[in-house]
């Protein structure tokens, strides 16, 4: 039940308390005004697991995975584990029929522990070590995406049987989307440039290496992209490059991996990538590019991370204190911060926050929610409307925190990282436990 159900007279005069585009699909408000996710009151999670805590809606994650498969029936959907990975998440990914993209030894180990078929794992990374490559080959990962000349040298010495590989190329596409991060341009660390024949030279070396089976090209043009057009452009450029390889070497590449970067809304009014529109643009680009080059349509692979994991996650914080400074600003300090959410300081990310333990009735105040860390930039949400009577002990929930938070958390100030708690159908279960002071001290050898 939402606030609007309880106060029907407000209907039409105010917006819903929790924007369904930002909060998990299973979010609700119970009769006490407590926010629920997966039919579990967030106050119960906070009481049982303490705060801060990452809450993950399993139904949300699985539903979005299914929607992707439905929107792109001809494509392989490979979830980018860097956005959020635990063994349970890996298991959901496998059960929903997705592949998994990993970029470190521990991500690979987590995927395998979660029961992901190695053949459905794609290994990424711009600085893979020889040991990482050896391990990936030994466990039988389905695809290795080659990102540097040194990797070709390592792989040449390691492969004893055919290993499918792709080349990561930079198609020189500059996305100017809102808050987007660009990785598709030439002047950055990833991939081989199409320009200057760097990618062509890598292809020639790989094709000349026994047991390196070049199956396709890969690109990842950036993050938080809401306009599907750049993906269409990427398809055109990569099909052109695949046609050039056919001409030069007589080899037909059959796989086109166009990465992830699909945008999601963090605050009201943010644009999101429409999966249907994306599918249509990419399909159209494949049809026209393949016709122009008389190229056989390759198997399409997409690698969304955030679009599957971000909205499944909510972070819970307990309010520690409220302070009004002489300058007029009100600071609401909570028991977490930049250690569990580095994205505000790192990317200037904006978030949506809500009071989770009671109805936010009465007058409101514009406040800044700050963390507990010794850094002035340790903010979670800037200038947000909160109830004027907010006080220590209240519970705040921050939406859209499933992606790049647990996976990017630190232990700054020796604050242990929060637990990850999954909710579904009225029940909660801990996927990752809280990091304790004993955990932190256990690495210190004195
Ligand atoms: N594939 C490759 C090769 C990638 O490098 C990435 C993300 C993805 C797929 C998934 O992108 P997604 O769909 O999740 O946007 N730390 C930043 C995000 C960095 C993403 C890097 N690569 C943030 O906090 O927003």
Q: What are the b/e assignments for 280-311, b being 16+ CB within 10 Å? A: ebbbebbeebbeebebeebebbbbbbbbbbbb
Percent of the chain's residues with pLDDT above 90: 90
Q: What is the DSSP string of 44-57?
A: HHHHHH-SSEEEEE
Distance CA 73, CA 131 (A): 36
pLDDT category at 181 given cuts 50, 70, 90 is low
pLDDT, one tens digit per residue, over 46-103 is: 999 999 999 999 999 999 999 999 999 999 999 999 999 999 999 999 999 999 999 9
Q: Is 80 exceeded by the pLDDT of residue 152? A: yes
What is the separation of C-alpha 6 from the centre of its chain, rounded to a whole number of angstroms?
Answer: 35
Distance 56 CA to ligand 1 centre (A): 19
The DSSP output letter for 265 is -
Write down the residue that tokens 């990538």 correspond to: 273
Ligand-binding annotation for 317, yes or no, is no
Please name the residues in contact with 22: beta carbons below 8 A apart, sequence gap of 6 or more.
Answer: 265, 266, 267, 268, 270, 311, 352, 399, 400
The residue-averaged pLDDT of 139-146 equals 98
What number does the ligand 1 atom closest to the CA of 261 have? 15
Give the pLDDT confidence score for residue 12 in this predicted structure: 41
pLDDT category at 121 given cuts 50, 70, 90 is very high
Distance 223 CA to ligand 1 centre (A): 6
Ligand-binding annotation for 360, yes or no, is no
Give the pLDDT confidence score for residue 182 in this predicted structure: 66
The residue-averaged pLDDT of 206-226 equals 97
Give the pLDDT confidence score for residue 148 in this predicted structure: 96
Distance 40 CA to ligand 1 centre (A): 30
Give the pLDDT confidence score for residue 168 in this predicted structure: 97
Q: What is the mean pLDDT of the chain?
A: 94
The residue-averaged pLDDT of 219-232 equals 97
The residue-averaged pLDDT of 392-404 equals 98
The residue-averaged pLDDT of 180-203 equals 82
Residues taking part in catalysis: 374
pLDDT category at 183 given cuts 50, 70, 90 is low
Question: HSE of 176 in the Cβ direction (CA atoms, 13 Å)?
Answer: 0
Total-model pTM: 0.95
Give the pLDDT confidence score for residue 333 in this predicted structure: 98
What number does the ligand 1 atom closest to the CA of 263 have? 15
C-beta of 222 in contact with ligand 1 (< 6 A): no
Give the pLDDT confidence score for residue 326 in this predicted structure: 87
Select from 260, 273, 345, 409 the residue to mutate for testing ligand 1; criterion: most ligand atoms less than 8 Å from CB.
260
Question: HSE of 441 in the Cβ direction (CA atoms, 13 Å)?
Answer: 3
Distance CA 73, CA 279 (A): 9
C-beta of 342 in contact with ligand 1 (< 6 A): no
Give the pLDDT confidence score for residue 437 in this predicted structure: 98
Give the pLDDT confidence score for residue 176 in this predicted structure: 62
Q: Is 80 exceeded by the pLDDT of residue 1? A: no
Contact 421, 401 (CB under 8 A): no
Q: Is 50 exceeded by the pLDDT of residue 178? A: no
Select from 220, 312, 407 the residue to mutate for testing ligand 1; criterion: most ligand atoms less than 8 Å from CB.
220
Which residue has the least CA distance to atom 6 on ligand 1? 260
Handedness of CA 85, 432, 422, 36 (dihedral sign): negative
Distance 329 CA to ligand 1 centre (A): 34
pLDDT category at 196 given cuts 50, 70, 90 is confident
Ligand-binding annotation for 416, yes or no, is no
Q: Is 50 exceeded by the pLDDT of residue 317? A: yes
The residue-averaged pLDDT of 162-176 equals 91
Distance 190 CA to ligand 1 centre (A): 12
C-beta of 227 in contact with ligand 1 (< 6 A): no
Helix (H) or strand (E) holding 143: strand 143-146
Which residue has the least CA distance to atom 16 on ligand 1? 404
What is the token pair recorded at 287? 């049809």
The residue-averaged pLDDT of 277-295 equals 98
Give the pLDDT confidence score for residue 188 in this predicted structure: 79
Give the pLDDT confidence score for residue 372 in this predicted structure: 98
Distance CA 29, CA 161 (A): 56
Select from 145, 146, 190, 261 the residue to mutate for testing ligand 1; criterion: most ligand atoms less than 8 Å from CB.
261
């Amino acid at each position: 039940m939402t606030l609007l159900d309880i106060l029907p007279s407000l209907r039409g005069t105010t917006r819903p308390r929790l924007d369904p585009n930002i909060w998990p699909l299973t979010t609700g408000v119970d009769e006490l005004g407590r926010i629920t996710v997966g039919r579990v009151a967030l106050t119960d999670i906070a009481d049982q697991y303490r705060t801060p805590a990452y809450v993950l809606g399993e139904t949300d994650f699985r539903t979005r995975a299914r929607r992707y498969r439905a929107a792109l029936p001809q494509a392989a959907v490979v979830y980018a584990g860097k956005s959020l990975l635990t063994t349970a998440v890996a298991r959901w990914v496998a059960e929903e029929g997705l592949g998994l993209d990993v970029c470190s030894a521990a991500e690979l180990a987590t995927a395998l522990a979660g029961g992901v078929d190695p053949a459905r794992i794609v290994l990424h990374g711009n600085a893979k070590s020889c040991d990482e490559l050896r391990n990936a080959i030994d466990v039988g990962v389905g695809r290795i995406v080659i990102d540097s000349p040194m990797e070709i040298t390592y792989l040449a010495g390691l492969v004893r049987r055919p290993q499918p590989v792709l080349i990561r190329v930079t198609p020189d596409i500059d996305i100017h989307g809102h808050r987007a991060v660009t990785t598709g341009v030439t002047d950055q660390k990833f991939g081989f440039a199409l320009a200057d024949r760097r990618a062509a030279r890598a292809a020639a070396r790989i094709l000349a290496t026994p047991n390196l089976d070049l199956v396709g090209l890969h690109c990842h043009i950036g993050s938080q992209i809401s306009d599907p057009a750049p993906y269409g452009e990427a398809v055109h450029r990569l099909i052109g490059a695949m046609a050039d390889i056919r001409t030069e070497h007589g080899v037909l590449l059959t796989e086109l991996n166009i990465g992830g970067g699909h945008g999601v809304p963090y605050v009201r009014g943010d644009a999101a990538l429409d999966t249907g529109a994306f599918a249509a643009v990419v399909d159209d680009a494949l049809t026209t590019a393949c016709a122009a080059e008389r190229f056989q349509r390759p198997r399409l692979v997409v690698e969304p991370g955030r679009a599957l994991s971000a909205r499944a996650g909510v972070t819970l914080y307990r309010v520690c204190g409220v302070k009004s400074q002489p300058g007029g600003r009100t600071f609401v300090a909570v028991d977490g911060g930049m250690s569990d959410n580095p994205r505000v300081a790192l990317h200037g990310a904006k978030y949506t926050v809500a009071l989770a333990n009671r109805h936010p009735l009465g007058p409101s105040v514009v406040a800044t929610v700050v963390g507990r860390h010794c850094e002035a930039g340790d903010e979670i949400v800037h200038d947000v409307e909160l109830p004027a009577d907010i006080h220590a002990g209240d519970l705040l929930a921050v939406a859209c925190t499933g992606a790049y938070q647990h996976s990017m958390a630190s232990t700054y100030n020796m604050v242990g990282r929060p637990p990850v708690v999954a909710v579904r159908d009225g029940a909660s279960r801990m996927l990752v436990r809280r990091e304790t002071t004993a955990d932190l001290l256990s690495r210190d050898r004195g």
